[in-house]
Structure 1
Amino acid sequence: MRQSYIFTSESVSEGHPDKVADQISDAVVDLFLSKDPEARVACETLTTTNKVVLAGEIRGRGVYENDQWAPGVQDEIERVVRETVKRIGYEQDGFHWERLDFSNNLHGQSAHIAQGVDEGGNKDEGAGDQGIMFGYATDETPDFLPATLYYSHRILERMAQDRHSGAAPFLEPDAKSQVTLHYENGAPVRATALVVSTQHAPGYCDDGKPGSDAAKYKQLRDYVVGVFHDVLPQGFITDETKIYVNPTGRFEIGGPDGDAGLTGRKIIVDTYGGAAPHGGGAFSGKDPTKVDRSAAYVSRYLAKNVVAAGLAKRCTIQLSYAIGVAEPLSVYVDLHGTGTVDAAELEAVLPQLVRLTPKGIREHLKLNAPIYQRTAAYGHFGRDADGDHFTWERTDLVDKLRAALAA
């Protein structure tokens, strides 16, 4: 394990076209789960210039049964789609919550998938698909996330707050951030490069072309640099830190009008910023019977509790599943040479503390609830476990984990 190195992670804002798609897909998931906690949803979203298209498979009592929509539900879906775009802040000529063209192509779930997933008789509920899922935690930050990703998220969250409040009226919804940190002795100590590209109001650029305004660009740049200093720890930004604010020179056309967005294209932003493996499955748009989502959440939960218990400074956990099969095919733990216990012991103990079947995960983490739209921007991990939201961020296994290992 290297002790000194430079590492980078990125984040994207709630107004990034792929994130708009993720939030719409999860708004549909929440709508279905609010009506039927056992609903099945796999909703994909395409966003482009003044257009939103939904596709995927669904099933739910009082929502979509026997290949029929319940009365009024299609209108509700369109409503939550438009409300999501409005909340993000899109009222632009090329993408406007009220004027965009909406197309709903959701259809009933395949009966062949349903027969493998549904429980019945002596058959436990099976996994909604095959695949591998990873969870990760590190003691680099209070939220047990890699510092590069943690600060990338916080920069854009702060900018979004200022945009919504009116404190930074020159900002538009689409933005990206990137944080590069230098690590010494395995810990982040300073920033070597910081990048923000943000959509902006007309004129807040300095590219020498008509309409650019050097004074306005300086206002934008000074604001972003101020956010960097507010978000990163004192001393991380030095005279040698390279800072880039809108390096292309102009970013007026953005969001789905500037680039098409699709659900599930920001899986590294959603998870660990490249600091840990990824199984490849996206989260947004999927109900919690889909292990792409629920098993990734529980593996994060387990890894975070391992680190919070002081059993390792870093922990990666892999789970694997087969469609229609309830129990995981494998449980793998890697402590990256930082552990105070044997990883094999954890592989034996962790499944005793949480039943790692799809139903067991959902019940333990209370996942059959309309909680998902809030996950779809600024990361699914490293968030406060307030109430029944983000339950996978709790550290309530710490004492049980220590006791089980001591037995």
Structure 2
Amino acid sequence: MRSNYLFTSESVSEGHPDKVADQISDTVVDLFLSKDPEARIACETLTTTNMVVLAGEIRCKGVYEDGAWAEGALQEIEDAVRNTVREIGYEQSGFHWQTFTFSNNLHAQSAHIAMGVDESGNKDEGAGDQGIMFGYATDETPGLMPATLYYSHKILERMAADRHSGAAPFLEPDAKSQVTLAYENEKPVRATALVVSTQHGADYSNEAGQAKVRDYVKGVFAEILPDGWLPSDDKIYVNPTGLFEIGGPDGDAGVTGRKIIVDTYGGAAPHGGGAFSGKDPTKVDRSAAYVARYLAKNVVAAGLATRCTIQLSYAIGIAEPLSVYVDTHGTGTVPEATLEEVLPKLVRLTPKGIRQHLGLNKPIYKKTAAYGHFGRDAEGEYFPWERTDLVEKLKAAVA
């Protein structure tokens, strides 16, 4: 491991077109799980100028059964999607929650996939797909997340809060941030570059308006970053293209699952490649990534390492993971092989075991779809994978 280096992570706001798509997909997940905790959902969303398109495979008691929609279900889905866009704040000529064209192309889940996933007789519930999933934790921040991503998220969360409250009425929903930090002795010590590109109102496209936007964003940087961390002014970039009036789905198409590094660890850890949003928790792309984070966070919270990466792998239709891998990056106080043996005894790592341990069959996912799935403040109620309730059990198991 290098001790001294620069590292960068980015975040995107709730109004970024890909994040609009993620939030819509998870709106559908939450709606279906609120009707049927055993619903199956794989919902993809496309957003573009004045258009939202849904596609994917579903099964939900009382909503979509035997290839038919329940009365009123299609309108309920459309209303939920429009409400999500309204909450984000899109009332622009190129993308307005009331007037965009809506197309629902959801259809029945493949019977062959269902056959592998569903419990039957002596067969346990199988994984919804093959794949590899990673979890990560580091002691760099109180939430045990990489500092570069933590601050990138916090900058945009503050800007969104100010936009919604009216404190920054010149802001529009689309925005991106990027934070570069200097690490010394493997710890973040200061920012060396900060970037924000934010959509703004048409009245702020002149020189005075852009100056106001820049001054506001610089103030957010100063509030969010620790004292003494700000870089020199020439390393602070606000709307470096000059203008950002046209944005959101009107400025660029958005698709579910294109911001998976923003969703996870900002590039500080590996990623298995599978997206989370739009998937019910039988899909291990989502649930196994959540439990891998849960286990890694508990390892660090227990003081057994200052950094921890965990990989799980699955085969479609098979319940038990094919492999469990732990890497404490040279910071561990116990052998990694010991953790690989102990962790599956504390949490059953089958899809059903994960869902039951973390309570995942609930409509809790829309809130995850912007500003990251991990390290969030809403610990417990919305994000059970952020709990550290395994700490004492872990310590006892490795003692």
**What SS does structure 2 have at the residue aligned with 1:106?**
strand
Partner residue of 1:230 out of 223, 226, 229: 223
The 10-residue stretch of structure 1 (241-250 or 280-289) with the greater mean CA deviation from structure 2: 241-250
Does residue 335 of structure 1 match 2:350?
A: no
Does residue 71 of structure 1 match 2:59?
A: no
Q: How far apart, in 2, do the equivalents of 1:240 and 1:196 lie?
A: 13
Matches within 5 A, 1:3-402: 3-205=3-205, 213-239=206-232, 242-402=235-395
Q: How far apart, in 1, do the equivalents of 2:325 and 2:332 lie?
A: 14
The answer to whether the 8 Å contact 1:55/1:104 transfers is: yes
**What SS does structure 1 have at the residue aligned with 2:204?**
coil
The answer to whether the 8 Å contact 1:27/1:373 transfers is: yes
Q: How far apart, in 2, do the equivalents of 1:51 and 1:341 lie?
A: 53
The answer to whether the 8 Å contact 1:129/1:291 transfers is: yes
C-alpha displacement of 1:217 = 1.3
C-alpha displacement of 1:202 = 1.1
The answer to whether the 8 Å contact 1:315/1:336 transfers is: yes
C-alpha displacement of 1:84 = 0.4
C-alpha displacement of 1:243 = 0.2
Q: How far apart, in 1, do the equivalents of 2:92 and 2:233 lie?
A: 38
The 10-residue stretch of structure 1 (68-77 or 269-278) with the greater mean CA deviation from structure 2: 68-77
The answer to whether the 8 Å contact 1:194/1:241 transfers is: no
C-alpha displacement of 1:203 = 3.8
Deviations 1:73-97 (A, max 9, x none): 1111000000000000000000000
C-alpha displacement of 1:387 = 4.4
After superposing on structure 2, the runs of 4+ consecutive aligned residues of structure 1 that deviate more than 6 Å are none
C-alpha displacement of 1:384 = 2.9
Q: Among all aligned residue pairs of Structure 1 and Structure 2, give the percentage whose two residues are the same amino acid.
A: 80
Q: How far apart, in 1, do the equivalents of 2:211 and 2:357 lie?
A: 50
C-alpha distance 32-353 of structure 1, shift in aligned 2 (>3 A): same
User: Aligned partner of 1:73: which letter?
Assistant: A
The answer to whether the 8 Å contact 2:379/2:386 transfers is: no
The answer to whether the 8 Å contact 1:171/1:198 transfers is: yes
**What SS does structure 2 have at the residue aligned with 1:320?**
strand
Q: How far apart, in 1, do the equivalents of 2:388 and 2:234 lie?
A: 35
The answer to whether the 8 Å contact 1:45/1:263 transfers is: yes
Q: How far apart, in 1, do the equivalents of 2:257 and 2:378 lie?
A: 23
C-alpha displacement of 1:70 = 1.1
Q: How far apart, in 2, do the equivalents of 1:203 and 1:247 lie?
A: 18
**What SS does structure 2 have at the residue aligned with 1:153?**
helix
C-alpha displacement of 1:199 = 0.3
The answer to whether the 8 Å contact 2:380/2:387 transfers is: no
- 5+ residue gaps, structure 2: none
User: Aligned partner of 1:7: which letter?
Assistant: F
Q: How far apart, in 1, do the equivalents of 2:50 and 2:97 lie?
A: 8
Q: TM-score, normalising length from structure 1?
A: 0.97
Q: How far apart, in 2, do the equivalents of 1:387 and 1:319 lie?
A: 23
Q: How far apart, in 2, do the equivalents of 1:364 and 1:62 lie?
A: 26
Deviations 1:19-65 (A, max 9, x none): 00000000000000000000000000000000000000000111111
C-alpha displacement of 1:215 = 1.7
User: Aligned partner of 2:85: which letter?
Assistant: V
C-alpha displacement of 1:214 = 1.7
Q: How far apart, in 2, do the equivalents of 1:79 and 1:258 lie?
A: 24
The answer to whether the 8 Å contact 2:153/2:371 transfers is: yes
User: Aligned partner of 1:307: which letter?
Assistant: V
**What SS does structure 2 have at the residue aligned with 1:174?**
strand
User: Aligned partner of 1:294: which letter?
Assistant: S
C-alpha displacement of 1:204 = 2.2
Once superposed, what is the RMSD of the aligned Cα atoms?
Answer: 0.8
Q: TM-score, normalising length from structure 2?
A: 0.99
Q: How far apart, in 2, do the equivalents of 1:305 and 1:171 lie?
A: 38
**What SS does structure 1 have at the residue aligned with 2:316?**
coil
C-alpha displacement of 1:241 = 6.5
**What SS does structure 1 have at the residue aligned with 2:191?**
strand
Q: How far apart, in 1, do the equivalents of 2:64 and 2:24 lie?
A: 19
**What SS does structure 2 have at the residue aligned with 1:318?**
strand
Q: How far apart, in 1, do the equivalents of 2:277 and 2:75 lie?
A: 21
